[in-house]
Structure 1
Amino acid sequence: MKLLYLWARLACSLFATIPVSGFYLPGLAPVSFCEEDGKTSDCQNKIQLFVNRLDSVESVLPYEYDVFDFCKDEEEKRPSENLGQVLFGERIETSPYKFKFGKDVSCQKVCSKSYATSNQEDKAKLDFLKRGMELNYQHHWIVDNMPVTWCYQVEDGQQYCNPGFPIGCLVTHEGRPKDACIINAKFNKKSTYYLFNHVDITITYHSGDNENWRGARLVAARLEPQSIKHGDENSLSCEGSPMEIPVDFSTDLKVTYSYSIKFESTNAIRWASRWDYILVSMPHSNIQWFSIMNSLVIVLFLSGMVAMIMLRTLHKDIARYNQVDQIHLHSGAAYEDAQEESGWKQVHGDVFRPPPNGMLLAVFLGQGAQIFIMTFITLFLACLGFLSPANRGALMTCAVVLWVLLGTPAGYVSARIYKSFGGEKWKTNVFLTALLCPGIVFADFFLMNLILWVEGSSAAIPFGTLLAILALWFGISVPLTFVGAFFGFKKPVMEHPVRTNQIPRQIPEQSFFTRPVPGIVMGGILPFGCIFIQLFFILNSIWSHQMYYMFGFLFLVFIILLITCSEATILLCYFHLCAEDYHWWWRSFLTSGFTAVYLLIYAVHYFFSKLQIQGAASTILYFGYTMIMVLIFFLFTGTIGFFACFWFVNKIYSVVKVD
Structure 2
Amino acid sequence: MHADVRRNVIFCSLLALSQAFYIPGFSIKSYRDGETIPLFVNKVYSDYSELQYAYTELPFVCAPTGRIQTGRFTSGASLSLNLGEVLRGDRITVSDYELIMGTDEEARYLCSHTVNRDGLKRTKELIRDGYVAEWIVDNLPGATSFKTTDKSRKYYAAGFKIGEEIYGSPGSEAQYFLNNHVTLVIRYHRAPGKDGDQGKKVIVGFEVFPKSIEAGNRTEQGLPADIQNVESGLELIPRSNATGEIDDTDGATLTIPYTYSVYFREEDKLEWQNRWDMYFVAQDDSSNIHWLAIVNSLVIAGLLTAVVAVIVTRTIRGDIKVYKEGGLEEGKPKSKRARGIKSPRKSTEKNGLLEQIADIEGEADMSSDEESIEDITGWKLVHGDVFRPPPYGGLLAPLVGSGTQLVFMATGLLILSSLGVLNPSFRGGYVSVGTGLFVVAGLFSGYFSSRVYKTFGGQLWQKNVLVTATLIPGLLFTTVFILNLFVWAQASSTAIPFGTLVGLVALWLLIQLPLVYIGGWYGYIRVGAWSHPIKANAIPRQIPSQSWYTKSFQAVLAGFIPFAVIFIELMFVFKSLWLDKSGYYYVFGFLAVVSVILVVTVTEVTIVATYVQLCSENYHWWWQSFIVGGSSSIWIFGYLVWYYFTKLHITGFVSSLLFFCYGFLACVVYGLLTGTIGFLSAYAFVRRIYGYVFCPFHMLYL
So what's the TM-score if we normalise by structure 1? 0.87
- In structure 2, what is the Cα distance between the partners aligned to 1:315 and 1:428? 42
- In structure 2, what is the Cα distance between the partners aligned to 1:588 and 1:284? 40
| Partner AA of 1:240 in structure 2 | V
* CA-CA distance at 1:635 after TM superposition: 0.9
User: Which residues of 2 match residues 495-506 of structure 1 at below 5 A?
Assistant: 495-506=531-542
Q: Quick one: which of 223, 232, 244 aligns to 1:242?
A: 232
* CA-CA distance at 1:89 after TM superposition: 1.1
- In structure 2, what is the Cα distance between the partners aligned to 1:173 and 1:462? 43
Q: Aligned with 2:63: secondary structure?
A: coil
Classify 1:312/1:124 alpha carbon distance in 2 versus 1 (closer, same or farther; 3 Å).
same
Which residue matches 1:204?
187
Which residue matches 2:32?
34
Which residue matches 2:273?
272
| Partner AA of 2:65 in structure 1 | E
- In structure 2, what is the Cα distance between the partners aligned to 1:466 and 1:375? 23
Contact 1:339–1:345 (CA<8 Å) still a contact in 2? no
Q: Aligned with 2:424: secondary structure?
A: coil
- In structure 1, what is the Cα distance between the partners aligned to 2:376 and 2:643? 46
- In structure 1, what is the Cα distance between the partners aligned to 2:270 and 2:617? 65
User: Which residues of 2 match residues 565-584 of structure 1 at below 5 A?
Assistant: 565-584=602-621
Q: Aligned with 2:298: secondary structure?
A: helix
- In structure 1, what is the Cα distance between the partners aligned to 2:185 and 2:440? 45
Which residue matches 2:260?
259
Q: Quick one: which of 564, 577, 595 aligns to 2:601?
A: 564
Contact 1:28–1:390 (CA<8 Å) still a contact in 2? no
* CA-CA distance at 1:543 after TM superposition: 2.1
| Deviation string, structure 1 residues 303-352 (Cα, Å, up to 9, x no partner) | 43234323323222322332331357332569999977951111110000
| Deviation string, structure 1 residues 72-130 (Cα, Å, up to 9, x no partner) | 32120122211111111111111121211011111222222234xxxxxx111111111
Structure 1 regions of 5+ residues with no counterpart? Answer: 1-23, 38-44, 116-121, 177-188
Q: Aligned with 2:568: secondary structure?
A: helix
- In structure 2, what is the Cα distance between the partners aligned to 1:210 and 1:366? 50
Q: Aligned with 1:423: secondary structure?
A: coil
Which residue matches 1:224?
209
| Partner AA of 1:66 in structure 2 | T
- The question of 1:123 aligning with 2:117 is answered yes
Classify 1:86/1:485 alpha carbon distance in 2 versus 1 (closer, same or farther; 3 Å).
same
Structure 2 regions of 5+ residues with no counterpart? Answer: 1-21, 67-75, 240-245, 248-252, 329-333, 345-353, 355-371
Q: Aligned with 1:388: secondary structure?
A: coil
* CA-CA distance at 1:633 after TM superposition: 1.1
So what's the TM-score if we normalise by structure 2? 0.82
Q: Aligned with 1:53: secondary structure?
A: strand
Which residue matches 1:85?
85
Classify 1:221/1:324 alpha carbon distance in 2 versus 1 (closer, same or farther; 3 Å).
same
Which residue matches 1:517?
552
| Deviation string, structure 1 residues 248-300 (Cα, Å, up to 9, x no partner) | 88535332222212111133111111111111234963454243233333233
- % same residue: 35
User: Which residues of 2 match residues 429-578 of structure 1 at below 5 A?
Assistant: 429-490=464-525, 491-513=527-549, 515-544=550-579, 545-546=581-582, 547-578=584-615
Classify 1:212/1:304 alpha carbon distance in 2 versus 1 (closer, same or farther; 3 Å).
farther
Which residue matches 1:143?
137
* CA-CA distance at 1:207 after TM superposition: 2.2
Q: Quick one: which of 323, 326, 335 aligns to 1:321?
A: 323
| Deviation string, structure 1 residues 200-240 (Cα, Å, up to 9, x no partner) | 22211112488664301111111222222252143422121
Q: Aligned with 2:98: secondary structure?
A: strand
- In structure 2, what is the Cα distance between the partners aligned to 1:422 and 1:92? 53
Q: Quick one: which of 165, 169, 177 aligns to 1:170?
A: 165
- The question of 1:289 aligning with 2:284 is answered no
- In structure 1, what is the Cα distance between the partners aligned to 2:292 and 2:236? 46
Which residue matches 1:310?
311
- In structure 1, what is the Cα distance between the partners aligned to 2:500 and 2:141? 26
Which residue matches 1:98?
98
- Rg larger in 1 or in 2? 2
| Deviation string, structure 1 residues 443-479 (Cα, Å, up to 9, x no partner) | 1000111111111000111111111100000001111
Contact 1:516–1:587 (CA<8 Å) still a contact in 2? no
Q: Quick one: which of 386, 392, 415 aligns to 1:380?
A: 415
- In structure 1, what is the Cα distance between the partners aligned to 2:39 and 2:692? 68
- In structure 2, what is the Cα distance between the partners aligned to 1:332 and 1:589? 43
Structure 1 window deviating more from structure 2 (614-623 vs 286-295): it is 286-295
Contact 2:143–2:206 (CA<8 Å) still a contact in 1? yes
| Partner AA of 2:518 in structure 1 | V
Classify 1:599/1:210 alpha carbon distance in 2 versus 1 (closer, same or farther; 3 Å).
closer
Classify 1:247/1:537 alpha carbon distance in 2 versus 1 (closer, same or farther; 3 Å).
farther
- In structure 1, what is the Cα distance between the partners aligned to 2:123 and 2:106? 26
Which residue matches 1:73?
64
Classify 1:504/1:477 alpha carbon distance in 2 versus 1 (closer, same or farther; 3 Å).
same
| Deviation string, structure 1 residues 577-617 (Cα, Å, up to 9, x no partner) | 11211110000000011111112111111111111111111
| Deviation string, structure 1 residues 546-575 (Cα, Å, up to 9, x no partner) | 311111111112211111111000011011
Contact 2:24–2:424 (CA<8 Å) still a contact in 1? no
- In structure 1, what is the Cα distance between the partners aligned to 2:667 and 2:280? 28
- What count of residue pairs does the alignment treat as equivalent? 609
| Deviation string, structure 1 residues 625-656 (Cα, Å, up to 9, x no partner) | 11221221121011000000000000101111
Q: Aligned with 2:265: secondary structure?
A: strand
| Partner AA of 1:220 in structure 2 | G
Which residue matches 2:434?
399
Classify 1:47/1:246 alpha carbon distance in 2 versus 1 (closer, same or farther; 3 Å).
closer
- In structure 1, what is the Cα distance between the partners aligned to 2:277 and 2:159? 16
- The question of 1:619 aligning with 2:656 is answered yes
| Partner AA of 2:260 in structure 1 | Y
| Deviation string, structure 1 residues 416-448 (Cα, Å, up to 9, x no partner) | 111111112323211111111111111100011
- In structure 2, what is the Cα distance between the partners aligned to 1:261 and 1:301? 57
Contact 1:47–1:101 (CA<8 Å) still a contact in 2? yes
- The question of 1:589 aligning with 2:629 is answered no
Q: Aligned with 1:530: secondary structure?
A: helix
Q: Aligned with 1:141: secondary structure?
A: strand
Contact 1:320–1:338 (CA<8 Å) still a contact in 2? no
